[in-house]
């Protein structure tokens, strides 16, 4: 096993479009060690190798599905031949704000653009003339919202709108900020505002949500099929979405599911429990299945399930609890109510409750690892990995690629 300090973890952050649909992932390649100036060059070389390895061996290209992957590039990586091994149709190359705009860099960007790569300028704050040659080349500019007040944001946005660019608001930490940038004409949005809970005092679960929680309770209690059908029949939107989910390519089922009873019969209780958990993240009207929060919950649940299978092979009950933990960890965000309110409506295993409430136990450890991967926090990933026997960055990155691939298939109906 390689030295853990040299390991690099793959993180990913969703990038949304103007309708809050998932557009892309920013892929974050983070060293597990705390960096200092002397280590940076070594880490850049390692990052370049890992990026190439991720696409060649881990299947990240397939894991991205229909979405693009944004990758940070400093000057060393931009000038590296390894970039040209990456699929130009799947990759957006982000030129970091630390890159000095030299003649060599401009010529390299022209070459990469001619090869079909999409270029973006990262962490843009204030316009300066030195950026003009890059602004003539890039297609996307990522505006860093953190240092900007309302006036600064308006000024920066107006300066950039002189070019035929698509603007991406990054580090969006609230719905209000997302709405402001939307009104200013931004095309893309990045940040965890949609994955952070907005708890509204006194808010109760909606009717469809209560029905789903009741269904989950019935499945966990091994209730008879007619009882499950009776609940679903009162919620036509949920029934439509259950049909869509169970017919999606992610299920691996060749037979088209045609009724509630058929779905219950063909799936089996274990799979039905999984899809009911995912169903919480769909539109109760039945109009639209796939959402960024569904994608995030699905990949989180599936990653935890895969990690559980590595930790305790053959323990399907532990895998089920891991999947449930991942899915339920985002339910306060989904429902805008407290975790306490949600857990009041369903009986769950004590280890799942402990993981959700205080991040304790093996499930809690895996949930912390999953959250650290989403944040691109390499040192935390490394520290947590050491608590999981037999795990290393390669194992975790492989599981993440598989989880993303699985989640990307959800909602695509199987026409076979």
State the CATH number of the domain containing residue 294: 1.10.3210.10
Confidence label for 4 from pLDDT (cuts 50, 70 and 90): very low
Q: Tell whether 245 is covered by a domain.
A: yes
In this structure, are residues 381 and 30 in contact, taking their beta carbons and an 8 Å threshold? Answer: yes
More confident: 83 or 111: 111
Token pair 């999981």: residue = 388
In this structure, are residues 247 and 413 in contact, taking their beta carbons and an 8 Å threshold? Answer: yes
- In this structure, the answer to whether residues 246 and 339 fall within a common structural domain is yes
Whichever domain contains 91, its CATH number is 3.20.20.450
Q: Tell whether 187 is covered by a domain.
A: yes
Q: Tell whether 215 is covered by a domain.
A: yes
Token pair 């199987």: residue = 414
Residue 414 confidence (pLDDT): 40
- In this structure, the answer to whether residues 155 and 216 fall within a common structural domain is no
What tokens appear for 211 in the block?
A: 């029905």
Buried b (16+ CB within 10 A) or exposed e, 11-31: bbbbbbeeeeebbbbbbbbbb
- In this structure, the answer to whether residues 240 and 321 fall within a common structural domain is yes
Confidence label for 235 from pLDDT (cuts 50, 70 and 90): confident
More confident: 148 or 261: 148
- In this structure, the answer to whether residues 100 and 224 fall within a common structural domain is no
- In this structure, the answer to whether residues 385 and 307 fall within a common structural domain is yes
- In this structure, the answer to whether residues 149 and 213 fall within a common structural domain is no
Average pLDDT score over the chain:
82
Distance, in Å, from the CA atom of 268 to the CA atom of 204, rounded to the nearest integer, reads 31
If you average pLDDT over residues 203-227, what whole number do you get?
73
pLDDT for 135 beyond 60: yes
Q: Tell whether 200 is covered by a domain.
A: no
Distance, in Å, from the CA atom of 287 to the CA atom of 274, rounded to the nearest integer, reads 21
Q: Tell whether 416 is covered by a domain.
A: no
Neighbours of 81 (CB within 10 A): 8
- In this structure, the answer to whether residues 234 and 296 fall within a common structural domain is yes
E strand residue ranges, 96-139: 118-124
- In this structure, the answer to whether residues 124 and 232 fall within a common structural domain is no
Q: Tell whether 166 is covered by a domain.
A: yes
Residue 1 confidence (pLDDT): 35
User: What residue numbers bound the domain in which 153 lies?
Assistant: 4-195
Residues 266/272/275/279 CA torsion (nearest 10 deg): 110
Confidence label for 46 from pLDDT (cuts 50, 70 and 90): low
| Least confident piece of the model among 55-69, 84-98, 211-225 | 211-225
In this structure, are residues 192 and 174 in contact, taking their beta carbons and an 8 Å threshold? Answer: no
Last residue of a domain, which of 195, 224, 245? 195
Closest CA to 203 of 85, 108, 338: 338
- In this structure, the answer to whether residues 181 and 217 fall within a common structural domain is no
Distance, in Å, from the CA atom of 273 to the CA atom of 234, rounded to the nearest integer, reads 19
- In this structure, the answer to whether residues 158 and 9 fall within a common structural domain is yes
Residue 345 confidence (pLDDT): 63
Token pair 């035929």: residue = 164
Q: What is the pLDDT of residues 319-374, one digit of tens each?
A: 989 998 998 898 888 777 788 877 876 778 899 999 999 999 999 999 999 999 98
Distance, in Å, from the CA atom of 342 to the CA atom of 365, rounded to the nearest integer, reads 22
Q: Tell whether 202 is covered by a domain.
A: no
Last residue of a domain, which of 195, 224, 239? 195
User: Can you list the alpha helix ranges (DSSP code H) found in 173-286?
Assistant: 175-184, 207-220, 225-233, 236-246, 260-279
| Least confident piece of the model among 40-49, 288-297, 387-396, 404-413 | 40-49
- In this structure, the answer to whether residues 50 and 173 fall within a common structural domain is yes
Residue 285 confidence (pLDDT): 53
Q: Tell whether 327 is covered by a domain.
A: yes
Last residue of a domain, which of 172, 195, 218? 195
- In this structure, the answer to whether residues 138 and 215 fall within a common structural domain is no
- When divided into structural domains, the chain yields a total of 2
E strand residue ranges, 275-341: none
Distance, in Å, from the CA atom of 163 to the CA atom of 140, rounded to the nearest integer, reads 10
In this structure, are residues 385 and 32 in contact, taking their beta carbons and an 8 Å threshold? Answer: yes
């Amino acid at each position: 096993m390689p030295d853990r300090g040299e390991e690099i973890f793959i993180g990913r952050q969703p990038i949304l479009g103007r309708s809050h649909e998932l557009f892309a992932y920013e892929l974050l390649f983070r060293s597990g060690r705390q960096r200092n100036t002397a280590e940076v060059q070594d880490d850049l070389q390692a990052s370049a190798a890992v990026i190439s390895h991720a696409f060649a061996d881990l299947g990240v290209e397939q894991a991205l599905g229909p979405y693009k992957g944004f990758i940070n590039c400093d000057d060393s990586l931009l000038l590296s031949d390894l970039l040209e091994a990456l699929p130009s149709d799947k990759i957006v190359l982000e030129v970091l704000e630390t890159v000095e705009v030299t003649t060599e860099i401009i010529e390299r960007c022209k070459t990469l653009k001619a090869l079909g790569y999409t270029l973006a300028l990262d962490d843009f704050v204030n316009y300066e003339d030195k950026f003009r040659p890059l602004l003539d080349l890039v297609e996307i500019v990522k505006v860093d919202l953190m240092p900007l007040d309302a006036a600064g944001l308006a000024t920066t946005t107006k300066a950039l709108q002189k070019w035929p660019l698509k603007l991406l608001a990054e580090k969006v930490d609230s719905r209000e900020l997302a709405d402001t940038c939307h009104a200013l004409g931004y095309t893309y949005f990045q940040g965890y505002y949609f994955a952070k809970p907005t708890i509204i005092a006194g808010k109760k679960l909606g009717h469809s949500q209560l029905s789903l929680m009741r269904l989950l309770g019935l499945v966990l209690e091994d209730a008879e099929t007619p009882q499950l059908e009776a609940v679903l029949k009162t919620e036509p939107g949920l029934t439509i979405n259950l049909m869509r989910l169970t017919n999606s390519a992610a299920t691996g089922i060749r037979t088209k599911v045609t009724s509630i009873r058929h779905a219950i019969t063909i799936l089996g209780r274990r799979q039905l429990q999984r899809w009911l958990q995912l169903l919480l993240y769909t539109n109760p009207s039945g109009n639209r299945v796939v959402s960024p929060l569904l994608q995030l919950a699905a990949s989180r649940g599936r990653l935890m399930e895969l990690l559980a299978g590595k930790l305790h092979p053959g323990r399907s009950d532990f895998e089920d609890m891991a999947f449930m933990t991942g899915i339920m960890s985002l339910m306060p965000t989904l429902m805008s109510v407290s975790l306490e309110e949600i857990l009041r409506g369903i009986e769950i295993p004590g280890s799942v409750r402990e993981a959700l409430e205080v991040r304790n136990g093996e499930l809690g450890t895996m949930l912390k690892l999953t959250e650290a991967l989403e944040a691109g926090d390499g040192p935390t990933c490394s520290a947590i990995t050491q608590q999981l026997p037999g795990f290393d960055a390669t194992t975790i990155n492989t599981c993440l690629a598989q989880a993303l691939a699985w989640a990307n298939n959800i909602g695509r109906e199987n026409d076979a």
